[in-house]
Amino acid sequence: MARGDHKVGIIGYGAYIPRYRIRGEEIAKAWGQEHRKLPIKEKSVPNIDEDSLTIAVEASCYAIKMANIDSSEIGAVYVGSESPPYAVKPSATVLAEALGITPELIAIDMEFACRAGTTALQSVAALVASGYIRYGLAVGTDTAQGRPSDELEYTAASGAAAFVLSEKSEETVAYIEDSYSYVTDTPDFWRRDTKRYPMHAFRFTGKPAYFKHIYNAVKGLLNKTGLTIDDFNYVVFHQPNEKFPIRMAKMLGVSYDKLKTGLLSPYIGNTYAAASLIGLCAVLDKAKPGERILVASFGSGAGSDALSIITQDSLVEKRNRRPDIYTFINRKTYIDYSTYLRYTRSITMR
């Protein structure tokens, strides 16, 4: 993520989580599964007029506000999502138009399941590091769906996170020290064309997919940088549920205290391409200057990006320019299952 000594920094970041929530016990009751162990407490649900694009606009506005730049200065918009509102029509162009960035820019849609957000971040960082652009916007956004009564229905949620990147300076709130990616062809999760809901293979989801890829990505980053896991003050993992990131932390020798700040899935669910990035936003909202953050995403299919991020002095002042993550987490209205079904069907049937 560097060109010579030119590190890439985060000059602004923002997130958005829809207001509506459904409790896991409400879903269980609808399917006669009241006594099952729930993977999360509750999850976010988009309003009937929200989709992955509208929530991406919200998150991006907050990021640009923190960056304190004119949106027209942004030279690239990369959107990572697996729930775009159009099967054939880019999301990046719509987002850029809504933000006043077009027409002179690079606009790219990226899809790699829940890893797409960090892949967008890496790609934009590379453009900045090369000197090709001055500012770039990377977004992870999803309004994920799970088949009714399926395991995924308990966790598939909605949220977005956006980051404005530039060359590291006194204005950046943190910078990317380095990154490492690890990918294989592991068929743990997929959705064929014309199918409304994704499918998944239970026996591939854990050890061969999530744990193998994050573990190897983190180990690769440590070997590349010469760091140890103890050099990190905070750790954020992709969080499809609560137990996976906790188990991942134990495998890597990370204490729960370093994990808990960015572990949000028990309260908002799995926001897919936004999950690890929203967790990063939560950590940036609490971190002190000079602290090191490990972020490791995971996307089914399968792959993981591991990034080392170091906070800077301007973080403390600049993060007050937009709402913190817990403003969105605590701003919630509960809905029943019939309302939830109506809202989520409105997304999948557009």
Per-residue model confidence as pLDDT tens digits over 301-339? 899 999 999 999 999 999 999 999 999 999 999 999 999
Are 159 and 268 within 8 A, CB to CB? yes
Check residue 4 and give its pLDDT. 45
Q: Which of 50, 58, 114, 177 is catalytic?
A: 114
β-partners of residue 174 are: 10, 311
What gap in Å lies between CA 43 and CA 41, rounded to an integer? 7
Same domain, 22 and 160: yes
Category of 282 on φ-ψ map: left (φ > 0), alpha (ψ -120 to 50) or beta: alpha
Confidence band, pLDDT 50/70/90 cuts, at residue 65: very high
What gap in Å lies between CA 166 and CA 145, rounded to an integer? 34
What gap in Å lies between CA 155 and CA 202, rounded to an integer? 15
Checking DSSP bridges between strand 234-237 and strand 2-3, what pairing results, if any?
Answer: unpaired
What percentage of residues in the chain have a pLDDT greater than 90?
A: 84
Active site residue 242: no
How far apart are the two ends of the chain, measured CA to CA in Å? Answer: 38
Confidence band, pLDDT 50/70/90 cuts, at residue 202: low
Identify the helix (H) or strand (E) that includes residue 73. Answer: none
Angle (CA) 147-48-107 rounded to 5° is: 85
User: Average pLDDT, whole number, for the chain?
Assistant: 93
Same domain, 23 and 106: yes
Same domain, 140 and 16: yes
Confidence band, pLDDT 50/70/90 cuts, at residue 169: very high
Q: Give the count of domains, the chain.
A: 2
Q: Which of 167, 238, 242, 281 is catalytic?
A: 238
| R_g over Cα of the chain | 19
Same domain, 153 and 190: no
Same domain, 46 and 165: yes
Tell me what the mean pLDDT of segment 119-139 comes to.
Answer: 98
Least confident of 12-21, 191-200, 318-327: 191-200
Least confident of 72-76, 202-206, 290-294, 307-311: 202-206
Check residue 171 and give its pLDDT. 98
Q: Exposed, middle or buried, 103 (CB in 10 Å: 0-12/13-18/19+)? A: exposed
What's 157's domain CATH number? 3.40.47.10
Same domain, 31 and 62: yes
Residue for token digits 């020798």? Answer: 253
Same domain, 165 and 202: no
What gap in Å lies between CA 203 and CA 95, rounded to an integer? 37
**106 closest CA partner among 95, 117, 115:** 95
Same domain, 217 and 243: yes
pTM, to two decimals: 0.94
Tell me what the mean pLDDT of segment 103-123 comes to.
Answer: 96
Active site residue 114: yes
What gap in Å lies between CA 262 and CA 258, rounded to an integer? 9
Check residue 277 and give its pLDDT. 98
What percentage of residues in the chain have a pLDDT greater than 70?
A: 93
Check residue 152 and give its pLDDT. 87
Confidence band, pLDDT 50/70/90 cuts, at residue 28: very high
What gap in Å lies between CA 347 and CA 350, rounded to an integer? 6
Domain residues for 35?
Answer: 2-173+324-348
Q: Which of 42, 50, 82, 153 is catalytic?
A: 82
Same domain, 184 and 219: yes
CA 113 to chain CA mean position, Å: 11
Check residue 14 and give its pLDDT. 98
Check residue 3 and give its pLDDT. 42
State pLDDT tens for residues 32-63.
Answer: 998 889 999 999 999 999 999 999 999 999 99
Same domain, 59 and 140: yes
Same domain, 97 and 166: yes
Same domain, 137 and 210: no
